[in-house]
Every structure is written in C-alpha cells, then in structure tokens.
A and B are shown apart, each in its own frame.
Chain A
Amino acid sequence: MITFMNNSDSEEEPCNERTSLMSAESPPVPSYQDGLQASEAGEAQAHRKRRTGGSRSPNNTADGDMSDSGVPVRESALENEEEELTLKYGAKHVIMLFVPVTLCMIVVVATIKSVRFYTEKNGQLIYTPFSEDTPSVGQRLLNSVLNTIIMISVIIVMTVFLVLLYKYRCYKFIHGWLILSSLMLLFLFTYIYLGEVLKTYNVAMDYPTLFLIIWNFGAVGMICIHWKGPLQLQQAYLIMISALMALVFIKYLPEWSAWVILGAISIYDLMAVLCPKGPLRMLVETAQERNEPIFPALIYSSAMMWTVGMAKPDTAARRASQQTWDAAEDGRENHSSPSHANSQMSERRSPVPTRPINSFEELEEEERGVKLGLGDFIFYSVLVGKAAATASGDWNTTLACFVAILIGLCLTLLLLAVFKKALPALPISITFGLIFYFSTDNLVRPFMDTLASHQLYI
C-alpha cells in the first residue's frame, strides 16, 4: 500500500540539527500548543473526518489564532490550500518513490545478469511443492496454479495470524518476529549474496575479513532499521533487503508459478486493502482505533521532518490519526525467512495515508513524504528480475517492464492524491508489467530483432 506521510520523524526527543539521527519510527503528529488547542481541535476533527492526506502549511498556526467563528470558512480555505499543496508536492512524491524503486530494480537486474547463481535451478521453496518439470503443458499449468493457491493461502493465514496477534496486543511476539526476520536477511542472505558475487568475479576473501564486513553491515543495518539512523542509510538498507528478498524469490520460484503468483498477489492486495473485511484494512482500522506508537517500520518512508526547538509533544497529541497506519505498517513487518516471508510481504504492502500535521511556530522546514511497503518493492523487483532472467537475454523486455511498473506507480500515486486513503500499490503496476512482459517477449522482440538484423530503424 501507499500512504502519504506528513512527518516522518517521530522520536521522544525532537530531531534537530544537533541530532542528525532519524528514528526509524514515524513521528507522532506534533501536539497543539495549549493556547491553540480549542481552535485547532475543530479543524483537526474536520480533517480527521475527511481523512485527507495533505499537510498543513505553517500558515495554519496563524489561522488557528483567529477566532473560532471562522472555522467553517477556514476549513474550506484550508481544504483548497491542502488540495493545492497535495498536488503541488505530488510530482515530488512520485520522484521520491521512483528513485528507490529504480535503485532496487537496478540492483536486482545487475545481479541477475552477472551472478549466475540466481538463475540456476536449485530446488524450490516448500510453499511451491509442485514441480514444473512435467512434459505436458496442461500439467505444468495445473502445477503452477496449485503452487499459487498454496502460496496465497500461506500468505492469507500469516496475515490473519498477524492481525490477531496485533488485535490481542502480543507486541513482544511481533517485535521478536520482526527482529528475527531482519537478522536473517541482514546476515544470512547477505553472506550468501556476497559469497556468490565473490565467486562470480573470482575474488578471494579470507574469513576474518568476511566476518568483519558482514558483522558491520548487519549490525548497522539492524540499528538503522529498528532503532535510529540517518534517513538515507535507513532507506539504503531497506532497498538492499528488498533486493535480497526479491533475489531469493527469483531463484526459488519456478517460472510459470512466479507469473501466476504475481498476478494472484496483486488481486489479493487489491482485495485485502480495499474490501471492508480485508485483513490489511482491519489491521489499519485497529491501529487507528488505538492510536498507538509505531513498531520499527519496515515500510520505506521517503521524507523527513526537521524541527528546531520543537515543543515537547504531549501524549494527547500523539493520538493523531497518524499512528494508525504506522501501526498498520508495522503489522506488515518484513521477514526474511521464507516461512514468514509471505505474510510479511503482504503486510508490508500497506502504507496508509498520513494525517495532516498541525504545525506550530517552531516547525521549521517540513517535507511531506510518501510511504511504500517493502512488499511492493519486492514484487516489483521480482517482476523485473524474472523478465531479465528469462527473456532470452533480451534487454528490451526488462526495460519495457521497468517503464510499465513506473507508470503503474505514477498512476497509483495519482489515485492516492485523489482518494487520500490507503491504496494497494501492486495491482496497476503488476498488471502493466505482466502485459508488457508477455507482449514484448512474444511480439516486440521478434520485430525488433528482425529490424536490427537488417539495421533498420523505425
């Protein structure tokens, strides 16, 4: 899912120029100052009802100083202002997501094209038990559909389990689960990846150096992701673990199953986020009711907020609607272990729109941002990576899928700006990606190859 976020820095202490560390958690909405509380509350109510995703400019605090009689007028004026701000920043948000998605895909495609390990068939996951080595096409199709059914059921079961855990407040269990899975991703999968890359380029490395590198990489990663760290480092780590997870999927999912799973998971994403009884939507709503602080987020967040001398936000203000999806997002924490990967993937894909922040005078510069679940990164990269791995060495297919996914993301963000609520990020992109993959591989490739063999240009 995709959400807007208005402030991404949530810490017990304010983040200012002196402390350049950004907490991994999303920040709570800054509190109203006591004097403004009454007038602001009215606006906040209106905003909460509208569930907008825009953020208010610092002018609002000035508005808040005016008398309460101006509330309805102010609300409509603010609404227009918010619309403008939303759309004005809309293009920036799109680019803020284009860049990490592109980077993740570049890492995956570069690895697929150079490291042979990830394109070799070495067994399958236990979630896709049916083999595709059958002689007949019908049997192969049936096996891939069965694999998909099993995989999606596992994802649904895991998601429901997570929702139940969250509903019954088993936070320690969820925390432990998340930490375990990121440990596995950051240490084990990185070790395997580094080993394969070194093998490909025939570089010798001794164990002490390897241990030092992996230990540093993993430890800093754990700190950045689960606690505090510079925003860009955190983003880089999230991109890297998404790429690693995508590579695992590309390696272990058999071909036809991978495509059917991609299609099925975008349908599942659509239903889970938009249907009233969908698990992801229930997760979001439960989190909204509780207004709880966030788990270590394994959602990619693109913006940060700097505040100078921010007034200490009182706990009442923390009850801003924001918290809801933060918790929701946390629900979808990332797991590296294949056993948990599925549910986590699905959960990770559910960012939620951020509530407008009520800024006060001390708020210096604030950048609105968007959040995208890591599951979305993973499945985008799986699609492009599979295209790179299986499309007969053709780069055109990979590029076509890449453009298709970016356009899907752009359209989804446009819808987000229009509807201002949590939206699934997979369906449009994956649909375009699949259409472009199959059509480019089967129609465009022969055409372009024939043209190139005669050195013809169109």
Chain B
Amino acid sequence: MGAAVFFGCAGIAFGPALALVLLTVAAEPLRVIVLVAGAFFWLVSLLLASLIWFISVHLSNREDAKLQYSLLIFGAAVSVLLQEAFRFAYFKLLKKADEGLAMISEDGRSPISLRQMAYVSGLSFGIISGVFSVINILADSIGPGIVGIHGDSPYYFITSAFLTMALVLLHTFWGVIFFDACEKHRHWCLGLVVASHLLTSGLTFLNPWYEASLVPIFIITLCTGLWAFFTAGGSFRNVLKCLSCKQEDDSRVMMYSALQVPFED
C-alpha cells in the first residue's frame, strides 16, 4: 500500500491516456477545447443517469438488497444508454462547429477535421469516465489499509486500474467508430457500438471473477481497436510505411529561375 500502489495503479490506468493527450492533444488549442467540452457532455449524461437512479432508489424499498442490486443494474444500463445519446449529441454539435470553422477560415477548410474531433471526443469521454471511476479508489490507495480484509478480492486496486485503462481505450475507439458511423449513416455500426458498451459494462458485473470479466473486456478492447483503426483509414500498408520511416519523394520541383533576381533593364 501507499505510494507504490498509488503510482503504479495511476500509471496503469492513465498512462496511455496521458501519452495520447500529451502527444496529440496538448499542442493544439482547438483539440484541448474539444477535450474539455467532451468531458462536460459526459458529466451531464452521468448527472441525468444518477438522477434517474436516485429517484428510483428513493421510491423503492431500501431494505431489499436484491431490489437495490437490480436497481443498480438498471441505473448502469441507463447510464450507458445516456452516454451514447450524449455522444451523439456531441457529434451533432461538433459537426455544426466544423461547418462554422470551415466557413470562417481562409481556405474554406476547417483547421480540425471531423475525424480528429471524433478521436479527441472519444478520448475525452474515456478520460473523464476513467477518472470518475477510479480517482477515489486511487486516493484511498495512498493511505493505510488492507485490501479485501472482509473477504473481497485482494487484487481490487490493480484490477480496477486495468479496467480503467481498458475503458479509456474503448471510449476512444468507440468515439472514432461512432462518429464515422453517424457520418456514413451506418446504423448497424451505431447499434454495435452501443451493444459493445452495454456488454463491457455488463461484464464488469462479473467482478471479482476476474478471468470472466477482465479477459473478455481486453479482447473486446483489442477488436474494437482494430475496427477503429480500419475505420479511421488505417491499413496494413500504412503500418508498414510508418514503421519503415521512409521519406516520401518530394514531388515538387524547385524552379531555380524563380530564385533569380529579375534583370534590370
């Protein structure tokens, strides 16, 4: 316990997210704004879902543990659906913003493409979702204590960290796929994204049976990642080209005459 667990779990949970933010988002102001606004949209969706859950809990019998557990499942499902609904709303907003930016720019093209916005919005949903899930756990891991002293799993912290990492990456991939599906009106893709989100959330209900929850979730993450990669236009050839670090031949030819000082008459 203590600092080692805190830093280790924080690194596992937020390492990829931090690297992605530092390398791709932090340098561009517009992307940072898209990131923060995405977090805001996710928070609003969570607020509404919590409201629904809160009302349902207060209207029900508090003593009945089974009922409370099923209300929790219901709340989680509502939250997943609301998150996807707000992702769609964010897509609409970003689409409009994209058109606005294209209109006012000098060359008619917006400084940020819809695909980049899809990626950043997915990342923002992932980061804020991961942070809200795990930050209190991380804060508790600094202090003294024994994990699972009442018979719960002793691997609580590390599995939470891995689940958070998977969730961050999943949200990023879902963002890319979702926006692309909305653009091309492929409704089956949308349905698949929502279904996989519900499936992931449902798999976490199998905790602490980690073999049944963590392993499938990571498999889903991998598959969704490949799907997002191909949706975003990636291909095997692109990967090879990137890895071989070949410089593209410059197709522009320098006109040396242009460099000459014009002759004075």
Known contacts A91-B33, A456-B201; is-contact A447 B159 (Cβ 8 Å): no
User: Chain A residues near B231 (CB, 8 Å)?
Assistant: none
B173-208 contacts to A, CB under 8 A, are 200-201, 204-205, 207-208
Q: Chain A: which residue is nearest B129 at the CB level?
A: A458
Q: State A88–B54 Cα separation when bound (angstroms).
A: 43
B85 touches A (CB below 8 Å): no
B70 at the interface (CB under 8 A from A): no
**Residue B223 at the A interface, CB < 8 A?**
no
Given A447-B50, A447-B75, A458-B76, CB of A98 within 8 Å of CB of B32: yes
**If the complex has contacts A395-B135, A395-B136, are A458 and B83 also in contact, measured as CB distance less than 8 A?**
yes
Complex CA–CA separation, A399 to B241 (angstroms): 41
Q: Does A83 contact B (CB under 8 A)?
A: yes
Across the interface, do B136 and A399 meet the contact criterion of CB distance under 8 Å? no
Q: Assess the B72–A444 pair: CB atoms within 8 A.
A: no
Which residues from chain B contact A454 at a C-beta distance below 8 Å? 69, 72, 205, 207
Determine the chain B residues whose CB is within 8 A of the CB of A400 once the complex forms: 43
Tell which of A91, A404, A451 touches B29, judged by Cβ atoms closer than 8 Å.
A91
Q: Enumerate chain A residues within 8 angstroms of B36, measured Cβ to Cβ.
A: 98, 403, 406-407, 410
- The reply to whether the CB of A219 lies closer than 8 angstroms to some CB of chain B is no
Minimum CB–CB distance from B63 to chain A (whole Å) comes to: 15
- Interface assignment of B49: CB less than 8 Å from any CB of chain A: yes
A396→B33 contact, CB < 8 A = no
B131–chain A nearest beta-carbon distance, Å: 6
Tell me which of A440, A449, A450 has the highest count of chain B C-beta atoms within 10 A of its own C-beta. A450
Contact at B33–A455, with CB atoms within 8 Å? no
Q: Are B49 and A410 in contact (CB under 8 A)?
A: no
A454 vs B36: C-alpha distance when bound (angstroms): 29
Given contacts A95-B32, A403-B36, A451-B72, contact A84 B106 (CB under 8 A): yes
Which of chain A's residues have a CB closer than 8 A to the CB of B132? 396, 399, 444, 448
- Separation of A446 and B51 alpha carbons in the complex (Å): 10
Interface status of B232 (Cβ within 8 A of chain A): no
| A contact residues around B80 at 8 Å (CB) | 458
| A456 and B136 contacting across the interface, CB-CB below 8 Å | no
Residue interface bits B50-67, CB-to-A below 8 A is 1, else 0: 110110000000000000
Q: Is the CB of B136 within 8 A of A403?
A: no
Q: Is the CB of A443 within 8 A of B30?
A: no
> In the assembled complex, how far is the CB of residue A88 from the closest CB belonging to chain B, in whole angstroms?
8
Give chain A interface residues in 203-258, CB to chain B under 8 Å.
none
**CB-based contact B39/A440 at 8 Å:** no
Docked pose: A394 CA to B137 CA in angstroms: 10
**Interface residue A116 (Cβ < 8 Å from any Cβ of B):** no
- B111 / chain A contacts, CB cutoff of 8 Å: 88
CB distance from B168 to the nearest CB of A (A): 11
A439 at the interface (CB under 8 A from B): yes
CB distance from A374 to the nearest CB of B (A): 22
CA distance A396 to B72 in the complex (A): 19
A46 in contact (CB, < 8 A): no
* Complex CA–CA separation, A447 to B104 (angstroms): 43
A310 on the B face (CB < 8 A)? no
**Is B46 part of the binding interface, using a Cβ–Cβ cutoff of 8 Å?**
yes
B50: chain A residues within 8 A (beta carbon) = 439, 443-444, 446-448
Scoring A residues 97 to 113 as 1 if CB is less than 8 Å from chain B, else 0, what string do you get? 01000000000000000
Verify B37–A455 contact, CB threshold 8 A.
no
- Let me know if B201 and A457 touch, CB within 8 A: yes
Q: Give the docked Cα–Cα distance between A442 and B55 (Å).
A: 12
B54:A446 contact, CB within 8 angstroms: yes
B257 contacts chain A at the CB level, 8 A cutoff: no
Bound Cα distance from A446 to B204, whole angstroms: 19
A282: interface (CB < 8 Å): no
A406–B38 alpha-carbon span in the complex (Å): 12
Q: Which of B65-101 contact A (CB under 8 A)?
A: 69, 72, 75-76, 79-80, 83, 101
Q: Are the CB atoms of B156 and A455 closer together than 8 Å?
A: yes
A94 in the interface, Cβ–Cβ < 8 Å?
yes
Q: Is the C-beta of B238 less than 8 angstroms from some C-beta in chain A?
A: no
**B139 an interface residue at 8 Å Cβ cutoff?**
yes
Instruction: Determine if B222 is an interface residue (Cβ-Cβ < 8 Å).
Output: no
B10 at the interface (CB under 8 A from A): no
Q: Knowing A444-B46, A447-B54, say if A456 contacts B76 (CB, 8 Å).
A: yes
A179 to B159, CA, bound (A): 55
B51 and A399 contact, CB distance less than 8 A: no
In the complex, chain B residues whose CB is within 8 Å of the CB of A443: 47, 50-51, 54
Question: How many Å from the CB of A355 to the closest CB on chain B?
Answer: 22
B160 within 8 A of A: yes
Residue B12 is within 8 A (CB to CB) of chain A in the complex: no
Q: Given contacts A410-B37, A455-B159, are A84 and B105 in contact (CB under 8 A)?
A: yes
> Which of A83, A436, A451 has the largest number of chain B CB atoms within 10 A?
A451
**Chain B 148-179: CB-based contact to A (< 8 A → 1; otherwise 0):** 00000000100110011001000000000000
One digit per residue, 1 when the CB lies within 8 angstroms of any chain B CB and 0 when it does not, for chain A 419-447 equals: 00000000000000000100110111011
Q: List chain B positions with a Cβ less than 8 A from chain A.
A: 29-30, 32-33, 36-37, 39-40, 43, 46-47, 49-51, 53-54, 69, 72, 75-76, 79-80, 83, 101, 104-106, 111, 128-129, 131-133, 135-137, 139, 156, 159-160, 163-164, 167, 200-201, 204-205, 207-208
With A399-B132, A410-B37, A458-B79 known, 11 other A-B pairs at CB within 8 A are A84-B105, A94-B29, A94-B33, A98-B36, A394-B136, A399-B135, A407-B37, A436-B43, A451-B133, A455-B156, A458-B129
25 A-B residue pairs with Cβ-Cβ distance under 8 Å, sorted by A, are A84-B106, A87-B101, A396-B132, A436-B47, A439-B47, A440-B47, A443-B47, A443-B50, A443-B51, A443-B54, A444-B50, A447-B53, A448-B133, A449-B136, A450-B72, A451-B72, A454-B207, A456-B76, A456-B201, A457-B163, A457-B201, A458-B49, A458-B79, A458-B83, A458-B133
